[in-house]
Amino acid sequence: MENDSFKSGFVALAGKPNVGKSTLINALLGQKVVIVSDKTQTTRNRVNCILTEDHYQIVFVDTPGIHKPIRKIGEYMVNIAINALKGVDLILFIIDAKDGLRNSDLRVTEIVDKSKIPTILLVNKVDLVKDKEKINLMTEKIQSLCSNIVKTIEISALTGKNLSELKQSIIDLLPEGPQYYPEDMITDKPSRFIISELIREKIFHLTKEEIPHSSGVVVEELKERENGVLYVRAEIYVEKKSQKPIIIGKNGSMIKKIGQLARQDIEELFERKVYLDLYVKVREKWRDDKNILNNIMEYKIEEIKD
Q: Is 228 annotated to bind ligand?
A: no
Q: Is 65 annotated to bind ligand?
A: yes
CB 202 within 8 A of CB 261: yes
Q: Is 16 annotated to bind ligand?
A: yes
CB 55 within 8 A of CB 78: no
Q: Is 136 annotated to bind ligand?
A: no
- Supply the Cα-derived Rg of the chain in whole angstroms: 20
Rounded CA separation 128/301 (Å): 41
Q: Is 148 annotated to bind ligand?
A: no
CB 100 within 8 A of CB 141: no
Q: Is 124 annotated to bind ligand?
A: yes
Strands 230-238 vs 149-154: parallel, antiparallel or unpaired:
unpaired
- Backbone torsions φ then ψ of 263, nearest 5 degrees: -60, -40
Q: Is 17 annotated to bind ligand?
A: yes
Q: Is 63 annotated to bind ligand?
A: yes
Q: Is 108 annotated to bind ligand?
A: no
Closest by alpha carbon to 242, among 219, 214, 218? 214
Q: Is 18 annotated to bind ligand?
A: yes
Q: Is 114 annotated to bind ligand?
A: no
Q: Is 127 annotated to bind ligand?
A: yes
User: Which sign, positive or negative, has the C-alpha torsion 187, 190, 194, 195?
Assistant: positive
CA 120 to chain centre: 19
Strand order in the sheet with 149-154: 47-53, 56-62, 7-14, 90-96, 119-124, 149-154
Annotated binding site for GTP: 15-22, 62-66, 124-127
Q: Which residue ranges are tagged as binding site?
A: 15-22, 62-66, 124-127
